[in-house]
Amino acid sequence: MEKRVPQILIIYTGGTIGMVKDYETNALKPFDFENLKTKIPELNLLECSLKTTAFEQPIDSSDMSPDHWINIAEIIESNHDQTDGFVVLTGTDTMSYTASAMSFILENLSKPVIFTGSQLPIGDLRTDAKENLITAIQVASAFENGEAVVQEVALYFEYKLYRANRTTKVSAEQFEAFQSPNYPNLGESGVHLIFNRQFLKRTKKDLPLKVQKNLDANVVILKLFPGIQRSMVEYILNYPDLHGVILETYGAGNAPTDSWFFEILIKTIQRGIPIVNVSQCISGGVLMGLYETSTKMKSIGVINGKNITTESAVAKLKLMLGLKIPYNEFKEKFETEIRGEMS
């Protein structure tokens, strides 16, 4: 029997990976993804069929928005049935936000959606773009017994494969720009491409892909810091169109003990606005009830974000608010893992 060749679609949204240097002017210009194999002949050695598509106007990662997330999801949706895997190229600065969002938007996903990018442009002499792109394609085209090895949204960068909604960008300087502090790597690229299969998420067969496109934009991140003023907190939490809050607390979920702080939180919750407690620490997470302040937050109905990343919490909150989940069910549902985003 002839071996089936996986069909892989590369989606370019913008970012450093899609730029090349014009050595006459030293200016960066967009890479020609239509002639990808001509520019990177190593791709001809891959055992897959490649197609490419790009945003009509590629965007910088700083301009990434929920509308762009939906654009990416719709490209995946419209190509889903005839495509075996997807590689999404975005800017690194907001990649964890975008990749996390995609994990929530794409429900019942049973095909690989692999995000990658680079710290240096693809045309740079020392670029990390080629290795990241080639291996991301290899990951997306890895199949065994007719099934994709990876059946979730993942992020590949500098020899490591991560669950997308567990990642955070930790360096603007090093090639190893991302980490997954609270979940093991899904795989690693060395002499061989090795998957840590016990950590991979599996999807029930024959469930149709659902694309959740209703995202609520009215979410804010409130990061605590020593000396934060009552007027500041009131100003942010009294925003008229506010629908959800990510509260970045200290350590294991702790906050100031000032009575005014809890009064504001209580008034916010009484308005039907969910507040999610996430830790400012890169590693570890919230343990509601471990200390007095977090015990008090637990008692007033603040949601336990456990060890979710801020990026993933933003995406999950936008999704759940968009689904119009009743407020009396919201806390329990948010604290329940749905895409492997917390433990």
Note the pLDDT tens digit of each residue in 308-326. Answer: 999 999 999 999 999 999 9
> 3-class SS at 249?
strand
Q: Which of 13, 16, 83, 167 is catalytic?
A: 16
Nearest C-alpha neighbor of 265 from the set 299, 309, 307: 299
Note the pLDDT tens digit of each residue in 112-154. Answer: 999 999 999 887 888 898 999 999 999 999 999 889 999 999 9
Measure CA 243 to chain center. 21
Asked if 322 and 212 count as a contact pair (C-beta separation under 8 A), the reply is: yes
Nearest C-alpha neighbor of 51 from the set 36, 61, 38: 36
Higher local confidence (pLDDT), 212 or 296? 212
Whether the pLDDT of residue 27 is over 90: the answer is no
* Cα 60 to Cα 63: distance, rounded to the nearest angstrom: 5
Whether the pLDDT of residue 32 is over 60: the answer is yes
Per-residue pLDDT, averaged over 28-44, amounts to 76
Q: What is the pTM of this model?
A: 0.95
**Is 16 an annotated catalytic residue?**
yes
57 phi/psi in degrees, rounded to 5: -120, 95
Whether the pLDDT of residue 288 is over 90: the answer is no
Residue type, 122: I
Q: Note the pLDDT of residue 1.
A: 45
Q: Note the pLDDT of residue 2.
A: 54
Note the pLDDT tens digit of each residue in 172-197. Answer: 999 999 999 999 999 999 999 999 99
